[in-house]
Protein backbone atom coordinates (compact mmCIF):
# COMPACT_ATOMS: atom_id res chain seq x y z
CA UNK A 1 0.00 0.00 0.00
CA UNK A 2 1.36 3.41 -0.91
CA UNK A 3 1.74 5.94 1.88
CA UNK A 4 -0.47 8.46 0.09
CA UNK A 5 -3.36 5.99 0.13
CA UNK A 6 -3.51 5.61 3.89
CA UNK A 7 -3.80 7.99 6.85
CA UNK A 8 -0.68 7.50 8.98
CA UNK A 9 -1.30 6.46 12.57
CA UNK A 10 0.95 8.29 15.04
CA UNK A 11 1.09 7.57 18.77
CA UNK A 12 3.41 9.13 21.36
CA UNK A 13 4.23 7.74 24.78
CA UNK A 14 6.76 8.27 27.60
CA UNK A 15 10.03 10.23 27.54
CA UNK A 16 10.96 10.89 24.00
CA UNK A 17 7.78 9.05 23.37
CA UNK A 18 7.62 6.07 21.07
CA UNK A 19 6.05 7.22 17.84
CA UNK A 20 4.62 4.58 15.50
CA UNK A 21 4.22 5.57 11.87
CA UNK A 22 3.28 2.49 9.88
CA UNK A 23 6.24 0.41 11.05
CA UNK A 24 8.40 3.45 11.81
CA UNK A 25 9.53 3.74 15.42
CA UNK A 26 10.69 7.15 16.61
CA UNK A 27 12.00 7.98 20.07
CA UNK A 28 14.07 10.70 21.70
CA UNK A 29 17.32 10.10 23.54
CA UNK A 30 19.00 12.86 25.51
CA UNK A 31 22.60 12.05 24.66
CA UNK A 32 24.44 15.17 25.74
CA UNK A 33 20.94 16.02 26.89
CA UNK A 34 18.86 19.01 26.13
CA UNK A 35 16.66 21.20 28.26
CA UNK A 36 16.73 22.44 31.80
CA UNK A 37 13.40 21.24 33.17
CA UNK A 38 14.41 20.11 36.67
CA UNK A 39 14.92 23.33 38.62
CA UNK A 40 17.34 22.96 41.54
CA UNK A 41 17.31 26.59 42.62
CA UNK A 42 15.29 29.65 41.68
CA UNK A 43 16.16 33.05 43.16
CA UNK A 44 14.02 36.14 42.61
CA UNK A 45 15.02 37.92 45.87
CA UNK A 46 11.40 38.16 46.98
CA UNK A 47 11.75 36.44 50.35
CA UNK A 48 14.25 38.75 52.02
CA UNK A 49 14.00 41.62 54.50
CA UNK A 50 14.89 45.29 54.09
CA UNK A 51 16.48 47.57 56.66
CA UNK A 52 13.96 49.31 58.87
CA UNK A 53 12.35 52.15 56.97
CA UNK A 54 14.40 51.48 53.84
CA UNK A 55 13.74 50.04 50.37
CA UNK A 56 16.96 48.00 50.54
CA UNK A 57 18.62 45.54 52.90
CA UNK A 58 21.93 43.74 53.26
CA UNK A 59 21.84 40.27 51.68
CA UNK A 60 24.76 38.49 53.39
CA UNK A 61 23.78 35.84 55.92
CA UNK A 62 26.89 36.53 58.04
CA UNK A 63 26.61 40.32 57.90
CA UNK A 64 28.39 42.21 60.71
CA UNK A 65 26.77 43.75 62.67
CA UNK A 66 23.69 41.58 62.36
CA UNK A 67 21.66 42.52 59.29
CA UNK A 68 18.08 41.94 58.18
CA UNK A 69 18.91 38.63 56.46
CA UNK A 70 21.44 37.01 58.78
CA UNK A 71 21.07 33.24 59.25
CA UNK A 72 23.02 30.32 60.71
CA UNK A 73 25.79 28.87 58.56
CA UNK A 74 24.24 25.92 56.72
CA UNK A 75 20.58 26.93 56.79
CA UNK A 76 18.19 29.73 55.87
CA UNK A 77 19.41 32.46 53.54
CA UNK A 78 22.03 30.86 51.20
CA UNK A 79 23.95 34.05 50.31
CA UNK A 80 27.28 34.91 51.92
CA UNK A 81 30.38 36.88 51.01
CA UNK A 82 33.84 37.88 52.18
CA UNK A 83 34.33 40.80 54.55
CA UNK A 84 30.60 41.55 54.99
CA UNK A 85 31.03 44.80 56.91
CA UNK A 86 28.69 46.46 56.41
CA UNK A 87 27.51 44.69 53.22
CA UNK A 88 28.43 42.97 50.02
CA UNK A 89 25.30 42.84 47.86
CA UNK A 90 21.94 44.20 48.96
CA UNK A 91 18.39 43.55 47.89
CA UNK A 92 16.62 46.59 46.52
CA UNK A 93 13.25 47.73 45.35
CA UNK A 94 12.98 50.21 42.44
CA UNK A 95 16.17 52.29 42.40
CA UNK A 96 16.82 55.71 40.86
CA UNK A 97 20.53 56.06 40.15
CA UNK A 98 22.17 59.43 40.88
CA UNK A 99 23.59 61.75 38.22
CA UNK A 100 24.90 61.49 35.62
CA UNK A 101 22.77 58.47 34.69
CA UNK A 102 19.49 59.24 36.50
CA UNK A 103 18.37 55.78 35.39
CA UNK A 104 15.35 54.26 37.13
CA UNK A 105 15.90 50.51 37.52
CA UNK A 106 12.84 48.31 38.06
CA UNK A 107 13.25 44.65 39.07
CA UNK A 108 13.10 42.20 36.21
CA UNK A 109 10.19 40.57 38.02
CA UNK A 110 8.53 41.00 41.39
CA UNK A 111 9.40 43.77 43.85
CA UNK A 112 13.07 43.08 44.57
CA UNK A 113 16.41 42.65 42.82
CA UNK A 114 20.05 42.59 43.93
CA UNK A 115 22.79 45.20 43.49
CA UNK A 116 26.02 46.43 45.09
CA UNK A 117 25.92 47.75 48.61
CA UNK A 118 26.54 51.43 48.05
CA UNK A 119 23.48 53.31 49.25
CA UNK A 120 24.87 56.82 49.74
CA UNK A 121 24.49 59.14 46.76
CA UNK A 122 28.18 60.00 46.32
CA UNK A 123 29.22 56.37 46.82
CA UNK A 124 27.73 55.26 43.54
CA UNK A 125 30.48 56.96 41.60
CA UNK A 126 33.32 57.60 44.06
CA UNK A 127 35.25 54.39 43.44
CA UNK A 128 34.95 50.62 43.52
CA UNK A 129 33.53 48.62 46.42
CA UNK A 130 34.52 45.10 45.30
CA UNK A 131 31.35 43.37 46.52
CA UNK A 132 31.32 39.57 46.10
CA UNK A 133 28.46 37.22 46.93
CA UNK A 134 28.38 33.42 46.81
CA UNK A 135 25.91 30.55 47.03
CA UNK A 136 27.31 27.08 47.70
CA UNK A 137 25.17 25.36 45.05
CA UNK A 138 26.70 21.93 45.61
CA UNK A 139 25.87 21.88 49.33
CA UNK A 140 22.50 23.62 49.04
CA UNK A 141 21.01 22.00 45.96
CA UNK A 142 23.04 18.97 44.88
CA UNK A 143 23.70 16.87 47.97
CA UNK A 144 27.19 18.33 48.47
CA UNK A 145 28.39 17.11 45.07
CA UNK A 146 29.65 19.54 42.41
CA UNK A 147 27.63 19.80 39.22
CA UNK A 148 29.72 18.15 36.54
CA UNK A 149 27.49 17.76 33.48
CA UNK A 150 24.10 18.42 31.92
CA UNK A 151 23.01 21.54 33.77
CA UNK A 152 22.25 25.19 33.12
CA UNK A 153 22.70 28.38 35.14
CA UNK A 154 20.94 31.48 33.89
CA UNK A 155 20.15 34.91 35.28
CA UNK A 156 19.26 38.47 34.33
CA UNK A 157 21.60 41.45 34.78
CA UNK A 158 20.94 45.17 34.35
CA UNK A 159 23.57 47.44 32.77
CA UNK A 160 22.96 51.04 33.82
CA UNK A 161 25.71 52.59 31.70
CA UNK A 162 25.39 50.69 28.44
CA UNK A 163 27.85 52.00 25.85
CA UNK A 164 26.97 55.67 26.27
CA UNK A 165 29.56 58.33 27.15
CA UNK A 166 28.47 61.19 29.37
CA UNK A 167 30.90 63.76 27.98
CA UNK A 168 33.71 62.52 30.23
CA UNK A 169 35.55 59.25 29.59
CA UNK A 170 35.54 58.60 33.35
CA UNK A 171 31.74 58.60 33.26
CA UNK A 172 31.48 56.19 30.35
CA UNK A 173 30.93 52.47 29.88
CA UNK A 174 34.46 51.53 30.96
CA UNK A 175 33.39 52.17 34.55
CA UNK A 176 31.34 48.96 34.61
CA UNK A 177 33.19 45.76 35.47
CA UNK A 178 30.67 43.42 37.10
CA UNK A 179 30.10 39.77 36.17
CA UNK A 180 28.59 36.56 37.52
CA UNK A 181 28.98 32.84 36.95
CA UNK A 182 29.74 29.36 38.24
CA UNK A 183 33.00 28.28 39.87
CA UNK A 184 34.84 25.45 41.52
CA UNK A 185 36.27 26.59 44.85
CA UNK A 186 38.65 24.30 46.73
CA UNK A 187 37.44 25.94 49.96
CA UNK A 188 33.69 25.40 49.46
CA UNK A 189 32.56 22.83 52.05
CA UNK A 190 30.17 19.97 51.33
CA UNK A 191 28.30 20.08 54.66
CA UNK A 192 27.65 23.78 55.26
CA UNK A 193 27.55 27.07 53.35
CA UNK A 194 31.03 28.47 53.95
CA UNK A 195 34.30 28.29 55.83
CA UNK A 196 37.15 30.78 56.26
CA UNK A 197 34.76 33.59 57.31
CA UNK A 198 33.19 33.60 53.86
CA UNK A 199 36.48 33.86 51.97
CA UNK A 200 36.20 30.85 49.68
CA UNK A 201 38.52 32.20 47.03
CA UNK A 202 38.93 34.20 43.85
CA UNK A 203 41.10 33.20 40.88
CA UNK A 204 43.70 35.95 41.30
CA UNK A 205 45.18 38.25 43.92
CA UNK A 206 42.88 39.99 46.38
CA UNK A 207 42.98 43.75 45.63
CA UNK A 208 42.92 44.57 49.34
CA UNK A 209 45.98 42.44 50.05
CA UNK A 210 43.99 40.09 52.27
CA UNK A 211 45.31 36.57 52.68
CA UNK A 212 43.33 33.37 52.33
CA UNK A 213 41.30 34.55 49.33
CA UNK A 214 43.75 34.09 46.44
CA UNK A 215 43.95 31.28 43.86
CA UNK A 216 41.31 29.12 45.51
CA UNK A 217 39.08 28.91 42.41
CA UNK A 218 40.34 26.41 39.82
CA UNK A 219 37.53 26.71 37.25
CA UNK A 220 35.13 29.51 36.38
CA UNK A 221 32.59 30.36 33.67
CA UNK A 222 31.33 33.95 33.85
CA UNK A 223 29.34 36.52 31.88
CA UNK A 224 29.22 40.30 32.24
CA UNK A 225 31.80 43.06 31.91
CA UNK A 226 35.46 43.01 32.95
CA UNK A 227 37.98 45.80 32.37
CA UNK A 228 41.40 44.15 32.41
CA UNK A 229 43.53 46.60 30.45
CA UNK A 230 44.92 46.14 26.93
CA UNK A 231 42.43 44.68 24.51
CA UNK A 232 39.33 45.29 26.61
CA UNK A 233 36.42 46.66 24.57
CA UNK A 234 34.12 48.70 26.78
CA UNK A 235 31.43 48.72 24.11
CA UNK A 236 30.76 44.96 24.30
CA UNK A 237 30.31 42.41 27.08
CA UNK A 238 32.96 39.92 28.19
CA UNK A 239 32.84 36.25 29.17
CA UNK A 240 35.34 34.05 30.99
CA UNK A 241 36.52 30.47 30.78
CA UNK A 242 39.19 30.56 33.45
CA UNK A 243 42.65 29.43 32.28
CA UNK A 244 41.53 29.11 28.64
CA UNK A 245 44.73 29.27 26.60
CA UNK A 246 42.96 31.08 23.77
CA UNK A 247 41.53 33.75 26.07
CA UNK A 248 42.21 37.24 24.76
CA UNK A 249 42.28 39.05 28.09
CA UNK A 250 43.41 38.67 31.68
CA UNK A 251 46.53 37.74 33.59
CA UNK A 252 47.14 35.24 36.37
CA UNK A 253 47.73 38.14 38.76
CA UNK A 254 44.33 39.69 38.03
CA UNK A 255 41.81 39.12 40.78
CA UNK A 256 39.52 37.16 38.46
CA UNK A 257 42.27 35.41 36.53
CA UNK A 258 42.77 34.60 32.87
CA UNK A 259 40.60 33.31 30.05
CA UNK A 260 38.51 36.40 29.30
CA UNK A 261 37.02 37.04 25.85
CA UNK A 262 35.45 40.08 24.24
CA UNK A 263 32.06 39.17 22.77
CA UNK A 264 30.25 40.65 19.79
CA UNK A 265 27.22 41.69 21.85
CA UNK A 266 27.04 45.49 22.11
CA UNK A 267 26.49 46.86 25.58
CA UNK A 268 23.13 48.54 26.02
CA UNK A 269 21.24 49.97 28.93
CA UNK A 270 18.64 47.59 30.38
CA UNK A 271 18.07 43.98 31.41
CA UNK A 272 20.02 41.21 29.68
CA UNK A 273 19.66 37.44 29.89
CA UNK A 274 22.85 35.47 30.61
CA UNK A 275 22.93 31.68 30.33
CA UNK A 276 25.56 28.96 30.68
CA UNK A 277 24.88 25.35 29.72
CA UNK A 278 27.32 22.48 30.30
CA UNK A 279 26.90 19.12 28.57
CA UNK A 280 28.10 15.61 29.33
CA UNK A 281 31.38 16.16 27.48
CA UNK A 282 32.45 19.13 29.63
CA UNK A 283 31.60 21.58 26.87
CA UNK A 284 29.89 24.87 27.66
CA UNK A 285 27.76 27.32 25.71
CA UNK A 286 27.71 30.89 27.02
CA UNK A 287 24.98 33.16 25.67
CA UNK A 288 23.69 36.68 26.15
CA UNK A 289 20.13 37.54 25.10
CA UNK A 290 19.81 34.26 23.22
CA UNK A 291 22.98 34.96 21.25
CA UNK A 292 25.78 32.42 21.58
CA UNK A 293 28.92 34.34 22.47
CA UNK A 294 31.27 31.42 23.16
CA UNK A 295 31.35 27.63 22.94
CA UNK A 296 34.31 26.20 24.82
CA UNK A 297 35.62 23.31 26.88
CA UNK A 298 35.06 24.21 30.54
CA UNK A 299 38.47 23.15 31.83
CA UNK A 300 36.69 22.05 35.01
CA UNK A 301 38.18 18.78 36.20
CA UNK A 302 35.98 18.74 39.31
CA UNK A 303 32.80 20.39 38.08
CA UNK A 304 31.27 23.48 39.70
CA UNK A 305 30.21 24.03 43.30
CA UNK A 306 29.60 27.79 43.72
CA UNK A 307 27.53 30.49 42.04
CA UNK A 308 29.14 33.92 42.41
CA UNK A 309 28.01 37.47 41.68
CA UNK A 310 30.17 40.58 41.72
CA UNK A 311 29.07 44.18 42.14
CA UNK A 312 30.91 47.53 41.84
CA UNK A 313 34.16 45.88 40.80
CA UNK A 314 37.33 47.87 40.30
CA UNK A 315 37.99 49.56 36.95
CA UNK A 316 40.70 52.08 35.96
CA UNK A 317 38.08 54.82 35.82
CA UNK A 318 36.59 56.88 38.62
CA UNK A 319 32.88 56.23 38.11
CA UNK A 320 32.11 52.63 39.05
CA UNK A 321 28.48 51.64 38.64
CA UNK A 322 26.88 48.50 40.09
CA UNK A 323 25.16 45.83 38.09
CA UNK A 324 21.70 44.60 39.15
CA UNK A 325 20.77 40.89 39.22
CA UNK A 326 17.41 39.13 39.24
CA UNK A 327 15.74 35.79 38.45
CA UNK A 328 18.64 33.37 38.86
CA UNK A 329 17.91 29.72 38.00
CA UNK A 330 19.99 26.57 38.33
CA UNK A 331 18.56 23.56 36.50
CA UNK A 332 19.40 20.03 35.48
CA UNK A 333 19.10 19.29 31.78
CA UNK A 334 17.06 16.36 30.54
CA UNK A 335 16.28 14.94 27.13
CA UNK A 336 14.36 16.76 24.39
CA UNK A 337 10.63 16.15 24.25
CA UNK A 338 8.83 15.27 21.03
CA UNK A 339 5.39 16.89 20.89
CA UNK A 340 4.34 15.80 17.42
CA UNK A 341 5.30 14.46 14.03
CA UNK A 342 3.96 14.73 10.51
CA UNK A 343 4.85 13.65 7.01
CA UNK A 344 5.44 16.21 4.28
CA UNK A 345 5.87 15.60 0.56
CA UNK A 346 5.02 11.91 1.25
CA UNK A 347 8.65 11.06 2.17
CA UNK A 348 9.83 13.72 4.65
CA UNK A 349 9.35 13.16 8.38
CA UNK A 350 8.84 16.38 10.40
CA UNK A 351 9.68 16.11 14.10
CA UNK A 352 8.39 18.85 16.41
CA UNK A 353 10.16 19.11 19.78
CA UNK A 354 10.20 21.43 22.77
CA UNK A 355 12.86 22.85 25.06
CA UNK A 356 15.66 23.41 22.60
CA UNK A 357 18.68 25.34 23.84
CA UNK A 358 20.52 28.04 21.94
CA UNK A 359 23.89 26.84 20.67
CA UNK A 360 22.99 23.16 20.91
CA UNK A 361 22.82 20.84 17.91
CA UNK A 362 19.96 18.35 17.57
CA UNK A 363 20.40 15.36 15.27
CA UNK A 364 17.92 12.78 13.96
CA UNK A 365 19.50 9.32 13.89
CA UNK A 366 18.07 6.44 11.85
CA UNK A 367 18.55 2.66 11.90
CA UNK A 368 16.75 -0.41 10.57
CA UNK A 369 17.76 -2.34 13.72
CA UNK A 370 16.54 -0.99 17.05
CA UNK A 371 19.08 -3.12 18.99
CA UNK A 372 22.02 -1.65 17.12
CA UNK A 373 24.46 0.53 19.09
CA UNK A 374 23.55 4.22 18.70
CA UNK A 375 27.08 4.93 17.52
CA UNK A 376 26.16 2.95 14.41
CA UNK A 377 22.88 4.77 13.71
CA UNK A 378 22.95 7.05 10.70
CA UNK A 379 22.58 10.83 11.21
CA UNK A 380 20.08 12.04 8.63
CA UNK A 381 19.19 15.57 9.76
CA UNK A 382 20.78 18.30 11.89
CA UNK A 383 19.51 21.54 13.43
CA UNK A 384 21.75 24.03 15.28
CA UNK A 385 19.47 26.25 17.34
CA UNK A 386 19.87 30.00 17.24
CA UNK A 387 17.40 30.56 20.08
CA UNK A 388 16.03 28.78 23.12
CA UNK A 389 12.62 27.67 21.93
CA UNK A 390 10.51 24.86 20.48
CA UNK A 391 12.04 23.58 17.28
CA UNK A 392 11.40 21.30 14.30
CA UNK A 393 13.68 19.03 12.31
CA UNK A 394 12.81 17.78 8.84
CA UNK A 395 14.27 14.36 8.09
CA UNK A 396 14.32 14.34 4.29
CA UNK A 397 13.35 11.06 2.61
CA UNK A 398 12.99 9.35 5.98
CA UNK A 399 9.59 7.82 5.15
CA UNK A 400 9.59 5.05 2.58
CA UNK A 401 6.79 2.64 1.67
CA UNK A 402 9.41 0.27 0.30
CA UNK A 403 11.19 0.06 3.67
CA UNK A 404 8.82 0.72 6.57
CA UNK A 405 11.01 -0.81 9.26
CA UNK A 406 13.00 2.23 10.31
CA UNK A 407 13.81 3.51 13.76
CA UNK A 408 14.67 7.07 14.72
CA UNK A 409 16.30 8.76 17.71
CA UNK A 410 16.55 12.47 18.50
CA UNK A 411 19.93 13.36 19.99
CA UNK A 412 21.03 16.64 21.52
CA UNK A 413 24.60 17.84 22.13
CA UNK A 414 26.62 21.03 22.07
CA UNK A 415 28.08 21.96 18.71
CA UNK A 416 31.89 21.98 19.01
| Higher-pLDDT residue of 255, 100 | 255
Report percent pLDDT > 90 for the chain: 46
**What pLDDT score was predicted for residue 28?**
52
In this prediction, residues 47-52 reach a mean pLDDT of 94
Comparing 199-213, 219-233, 240-254, 325-339, the range with the smallest average pLDDT is 199-213
pTM of the model: 0.87
Kindly report, residue by residue over 276-307, the tens digit of the pLDDT: 999 988 999 999 999 999 999 999 999 999 99
**What pLDDT score was predicted for residue 169?**
57
Statement: residue 56 has pLDDT above 80: yes
**What pLDDT score was predicted for residue 404?**
65
**What pLDDT score was predicted for residue 167?**
61
Comparing 125-129, 226-230, 353-357, the range with the smallest average pLDDT is 125-129
Band of residue 274 on the pLDDT scale cut at 50, 70, 90: very high
Determine the Cα–Cα distance for residues 25 and 338; give it in Å rounded to an integer.
13
**What pLDDT score was predicted for residue 170?**
63
**What pLDDT score was predicted for residue 165?**
67
In this prediction, residues 156-174 reach a mean pLDDT of 75
Band of residue 76 on the pLDDT scale cut at 50, 70, 90: very high
Kindly report, residue by residue over 365-379, the tens digit of the pLDDT: 888 888 888 788 888
Among 39, 276, 37, residue whose Cα is nearest residue 152 = 276
What CATH number has the domain spanning 37-333?
A: 2.60.120.560
Residue pair 103/269 in contact (Cβ under 8 Å)? The answer is yes
**What pLDDT score was predicted for residue 27?**
55
Residue intervals of the chain classified under CATH 2.60.40 are 3-34+338-414
Comparing 5-14, 78-87, 384-393, the range with the smallest average pLDDT is 5-14
Report percent pLDDT > 70 for the chain: 84
Mean pLDDT in the chain?
Answer: 83
State the Cα angle at 144 between 140 and 149, rounded to 5°. Answer: 95
What CATH number has the domain spanning 3-34+338-414?
A: 2.60.40
Residue intervals of the chain classified under CATH 2.60.120.560 are 37-333
Among 180, 296, 319, 172, residue whose Cα is nearest residue 235 = 172
Comparing 105-114, 134-143, 180-189, 381-390, the range with the smallest average pLDDT is 381-390
In this prediction, residues 6-20 reach a mean pLDDT of 30
Residue pair 311/95 in contact (Cβ under 8 Å)? The answer is no
Amino acid sequence: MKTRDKQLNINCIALGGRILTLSLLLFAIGLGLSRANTVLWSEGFEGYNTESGQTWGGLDKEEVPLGPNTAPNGSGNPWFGPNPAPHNGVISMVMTNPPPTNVVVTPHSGQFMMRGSRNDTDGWFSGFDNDIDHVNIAYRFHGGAPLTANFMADWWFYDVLGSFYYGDLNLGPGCFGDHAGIEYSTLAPTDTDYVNNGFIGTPGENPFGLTGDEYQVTARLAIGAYEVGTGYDEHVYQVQVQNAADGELGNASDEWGTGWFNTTVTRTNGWHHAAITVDGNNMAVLSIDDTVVLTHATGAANGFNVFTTTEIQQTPDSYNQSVYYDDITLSLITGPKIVGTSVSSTTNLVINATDGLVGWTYVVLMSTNVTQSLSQWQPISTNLLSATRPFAIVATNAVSAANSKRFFALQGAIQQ
